[in-house]
Amino acid sequence: MCARTPFWQTEKSPARLFSLTLCMSLLLISLPFAGCSDSKPLESPELTTAPSTMSTEPAKAETVPAELASQAVKSKSSSTDQAPALPIPASATGTQVSSGAEGSVTGLSLENPSENPRSEISPKRSPKQLGKLLSDIDYNLRVLMSGQAPISDPKQARSKMLEYIQLKLEASRRLATHEDASPDEKSAGARGEIQAMSHLASMGNVGAATELEKVARENISSDDPGLASDSRLILIGFALEDLKNGKKEAAQNIVNYFEQIKTTKAKPDVPTLMIMGLAREDLARGGYDEKAQLVREMILDFYADSPDPAIAEMAANAAGNVTFETIEKQRAALTSGVPDAAAQVTVEQWSESVETLIAESPDLQTAQYLAAAALEFEGLKREDLVKATYEKLGNAFTDPSSAINKEVRLAQAARQTRKEVIGQDFAWDLPTTDGKKMRISDFRGKIVLMPFWAESFPSSLSIVPQLKAICTKHPDQVVIVGVNLDPEGTDVQPFINKSQLDFISLRSESSPTKEISNQIAHDFGMVSLPFVAILDKKGVVQDLNFTGQNLEKQVTVLLSQ
């Protein structure tokens, strides 16, 4: 669905799955009509945003990166939205959309959806007037899609959307067949018809979806480059849905549609780039690695050398890294906590993937990713994978003066520190967050769960519910004692009170000016949050947990000793 799903689409519909992918490609091609730079919104005190800043963000889809979506929307807005920001006078009642035709109006308003919507389009409208009407309709559709219309009831909003879409469908068809329309105007009408049907399909109209696919197939070979491009995007949307539904031929169909771009007159645009990025991810996720690679190569071929740096950057993001996707699947399986999934990836396979990734992308980002993976493996007690990862990193980045080598050495040093802290008595003399003195020996005879946390890192407290659940099971044997790491001078007590952190926390102030910003964090080799130290009944550090997995098992083992 769209990144910001309109509230009228929250109800279930027969075509829900259809809209998930197709909504993205269809809303992207809903462009204002050429030559209508004076589009006017409805006169309402609620509508104060001009079309050039209105968000029509496409599907977020789980597969589309937010940075890619926002950049593409910006590019599309800056290059296609011609309507300027206009002052919108207040109105006590629903006013009508300006159509550009003197003495005639659409009869529609955002405030009061009609019970029996009917066409108000005069058969005498000229092509110019129809174009202006379509521009006005598009603007108000974007207002509705953005959730900024003065309608709070989802059913009324949906009704209003349908009024405008049906009006757009009729106006587009009239423009496409108007005897006085120019070729460009007829093209705008034909594209408007497809856009209107796509809106209906995305709102759950199965009949419209069926008709839309038929019309798209008829127009994909059109001499009108824009119409052919719109039709191709729609058919790709259908193919992506087929791919999700397990139709094997869909993968090749997707590749074929993109390959057609090479032989068309139309220059690949931003919407096409976004759909290509989505398709590449879906293909890779479905196991069609070769086809994903083909789409990746086409993305780079079409867009990587774009004179627009923003588009070139978008292309790099959309193209992704197929090798990274392969190793990420392996990492996810190994850290899933599902034995059967982890068993499918051997140490040799992981090691080979690490070597391949380094060879393809020997950069800091790769080193950081692999160090983070090694940390996860360490938390799962997979020393074989940790050793294999650092062995490949050490062999690849040998220059001691490089930032990458430094990153690897720091990660390895922290790992060694974590090994060395195991078996040590907790001897750090720290006050509590409210300034009182406390010794860890006060809790002798109990297992101590010690989460390191900071107000400035909310995720550090995500482990607390799990810790509390363990304490509830063993109220007389387990206790939580936190360690706060917020910067010096921070008054953390108000946050503790507000968040109802009902456990004692030691205070270890961090300092950005010191070589070691926080001594206890350094001494424990803490490089990520959440991070929990586990102390036995004698106050000895027995284990560390920084994945959240197997925590209760670790406590159970200590309780049995």
Q: Among residues 517, 508, 550, which one has the least CA distance to residue 532?
A: 550
- Do residues 447 and 559 lie in contact, with contact meaning Cβ atoms separated by under 8 Å? yes
Q: Which residue has the higher pLDDT, 53 or 411?
A: 411
Q: Among residues 197, 180, 186, which one has the least CA distance to residue 125?
A: 180
Residue 522 scores a pLDDT above 50:
yes
53 — pLDDT class (breaks 50, 70, 90) = very low
Distance CA 256, CA 521 (A): 54
Instruction: Please report the pLDDT score of residue 315 as a whole number.
Output: 82
SS3 content of the chain, % helix, strand, coil (to 5): 55, 5, 40
Least confident among 284-293, 462-471, 551-560: 284-293
27 — pLDDT class (breaks 50, 70, 90) = very low
322 — pLDDT class (breaks 50, 70, 90) = low
Instruction: Please report the pLDDT score of residue 35 as a whole number.
Output: 34
Q: Among residues 67, 28, 31, which one has the least CA distance to residue 51?
A: 31
Instruction: Spell out the domains of the chain, with CATH numbers in brackets.
Output: 7-320 (no CATH), 331-421 (no CATH), 440-559 (3.40.30.10)
**Percent of the chain clearing pLDDT 70 (strictly above):** 77
Name the residue type at position 195. Answer: Q
535 — pLDDT class (breaks 50, 70, 90) = very high
Other Cβ atoms within 10 Å of 340 Cβ, number: 8
Distance CA 560, CA 375 (A): 28
